[in-house]
């Protein structure tokens, strides 16, 4: 296990390096630069050249890459072209907001997917199972932004019960506690959107893996020695049934991150996703590059985590 872990970690390093080169070259192939973002018609050609030098854009590309990489490894993501602020400061502002959206959505999706998957599996072939299957088919075919728009319509335009964008209501005086609940109310719809997207697929996995497990002999043995049906399900079946789901959830991280970006765009939630969209529009390349690198690194780490968790949770799996 230990040796396997070390080998997997070592394999991840070249992948991360390749990813960073890929992203870096990609961003530098894009047209434009700081002098276009901070465009000023009175600026002389000399001043523009000076600006490029200040951002280190006149060095050969490999030198630029090495400089950027060494700075990034010590936590310096560079300066934003548009805001003239350190990128790490911008990310630090936005990241907590994304986590506020991501963590509850992730938890809700996981719990509901587990619950619904197990129910479908236990009542296989029943009306409940068929309706859950149908709903999950609908969920899989539904693009994130469309679901978000639908929820905005139902709860915002039609029922007038929930706010549909941003993080706070404007033009109302609120006590600190009121402001907190106001913030929570703004969180509900984007969180539901993000959670619903994953529930559909994950509950399918949970269903099929539970069906696989409850057919096995040790389940019958447990029932025969007198364990109650609920206890068998939760103590004996779930442990094994949840293993494939854990892997799928970890591998799906990239898709969920993409879904979060789209959700933030639809609901104007000012997290990393909105920062991504605004820096894409203003061609703020240092910010874009940082977001891409962080996203890619997280995807690789979560894939690694999936492999490791797989082994931890299922001792039958041997690593060669």
Partner 1 sequence: MELYDQVNLTPSTLVPEEWEPLLEETVELVQQRRSQGRIIFDRFLRNRTAVGGVVFLILMVFFCYLGPAVTGHNQPNLIHPIPLSAVLNGGVKPTWQYPFGTDDVGHDWLARAMVGGQISLLVGLSSMLIAILLGIGIGSFAGFFGGVIDNLLMRFTDIFLSVPLYLLLFVLSATFTDGSPKSIILLIAVLSWMYTARLVRGEFLALREREYVLAARTVGARNLQIMFRHILPNAAGPIIVSATLLVGNNIIIESVLSFFGFGIQPPTASWGNMINLGDNLFDVNPLLVFIPGLLIFLTVLSFNLVGDGLRDALDPYMTER
End-to-end CA distance of the chain: 9
| Position 303 contacts partner 1 (CB under 8 A) | yes
Helices (H), the chain: 2-29, 34-37, 45-54, 61-73, 87-122, 127-141, 144-151, 176-214, 217-224, 229-231, 238-251, 253-267, 272-281, 285-313
Q: Does 26 bind partner 1 (CB under 8 A)?
A: yes
CB of 254 to partner 1, least distance (A): 5
Asked if residue 10 binds partner 1 (CB under 8 A), the reply is no
Q: Is 140 in the site for partner 1 (CB under 8 A)?
A: yes
Whether the CA torsion 210, 212, 217, 220 is positive or negative: it is positive
Q: Which bin fits 56, alpha (ψ -120 to 50), beta or left (φ > 0)?
A: left
Give yes or no for residue 268 binding partner 1 (CB under 8 A).
no
Q: How many residues bind partner 1 (CB under 8 A)?
A: 44
By CB under 8 A, which span of 59-67, 144-152, 167-175, 209-217 interacts with partner 1?
144-152
CB 212 within 8 A of CB 126: no
Binding residues among 109-138 for partner 1 as defined by CB under 8 A: 137-138
User: Applying CB under 8 A, does 189 fall inside the site for partner 1?
Assistant: no
Q: Which of 57, 142, 185, 309 binds partner 1 (CB under 8 A)?
A: 142
Backbone angles phi, psi at 270, to 5 degrees: -80, 55
Q: Is 37 in the site for partner 1 (CB under 8 A)?
A: no
Give the one residue of 9, 30, 85, 231 binding partner 1; rule: CB under 8 A. Answer: 30
**Look-up of token digits 């990393």:** 272
Among 24, 116, 295, 307, binds partner 1 (CB under 8 A): 295
Determine the 3-state secondary structure of 168 from DSSP. Answer: coil
Q: Could you tell me the smallest distance in angstroms from the CB atom of residue 68 to partner 1?
A: 17
DSSP label at residue 58: S
φ, ψ at 202 (rounded to 5°)? -65, -40
Residues that bind partner 1 (CB under 8 A): 14-15, 18-19, 22-23, 26-27, 30-31, 137-138, 140-146, 149-150, 152-153, 157, 254-255, 257-259, 261-262, 265, 276-277, 280-281, 288, 291-292, 295-296, 299-300, 303
């Amino acid at each position: 296990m230990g040796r396997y872990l070390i080998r997997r970690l070592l394999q991840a390093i070249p992948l991360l390096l390749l990813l960073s080169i890929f992203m870096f070259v990609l961003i530098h192939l894009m047209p434009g630069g700081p002098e276009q973002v901070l465009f000023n018609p009175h600026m002389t050609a000399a001043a523009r050249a000076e600006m490029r030098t200040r951002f280190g854009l006149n060095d050969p590309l490999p030198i630029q890459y090495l400089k950027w990489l060494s700075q990034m490894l010590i936590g310096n993501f560079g300066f934003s072209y548009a805001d003239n602020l350190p990128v790490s400061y911008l990310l630090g502002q936005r990241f907590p907001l994304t986590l506020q959206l991501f963590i509850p959505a992730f938890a809700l999706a996981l719990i509901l997917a587990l619950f619904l998957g197990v129910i479908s599996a236990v009542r296989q072939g029943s009306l409940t199972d068929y309706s859950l299957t149908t709903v999950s088919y609908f969920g899989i075919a539904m693009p994130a932004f469309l679901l978000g728009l639908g929820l905005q319509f139902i709860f915002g335009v039609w029922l007038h019960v929930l706010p549909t964008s941003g993080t706070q209501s404007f033009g109302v005086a609120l006590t600190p506690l009121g402001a907190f609940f106001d913030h929570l109310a703004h969180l509900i719809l984007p969180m539901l959107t993000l959670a619903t997207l994953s529930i559909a697929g994950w509950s399918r996995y949970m269903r099929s893996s539970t069906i696989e497990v409850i057919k096995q002999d040790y389940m019958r043995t447990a029932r025969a020695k007198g364990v109650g049906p609920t206890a068998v399900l939760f103590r004996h079946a779930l442990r094994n049934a949840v293993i494939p789901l854990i892997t799928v959830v970890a591998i799906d991280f990239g898709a969920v991150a993409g879904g979060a970006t789209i959700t933030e765009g639809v609901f104007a939630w000012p997290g990393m996703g909105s920062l991504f969209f605004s820096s894409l529009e203003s061609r703020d390349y240092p910010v874009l590059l940082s977001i891409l690198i962080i996203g890619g690194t997280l995807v690789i780490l979560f894939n690694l985590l999936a492999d490791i968790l797989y082994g931890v949770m299922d001792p039958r799996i041997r690593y060669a």
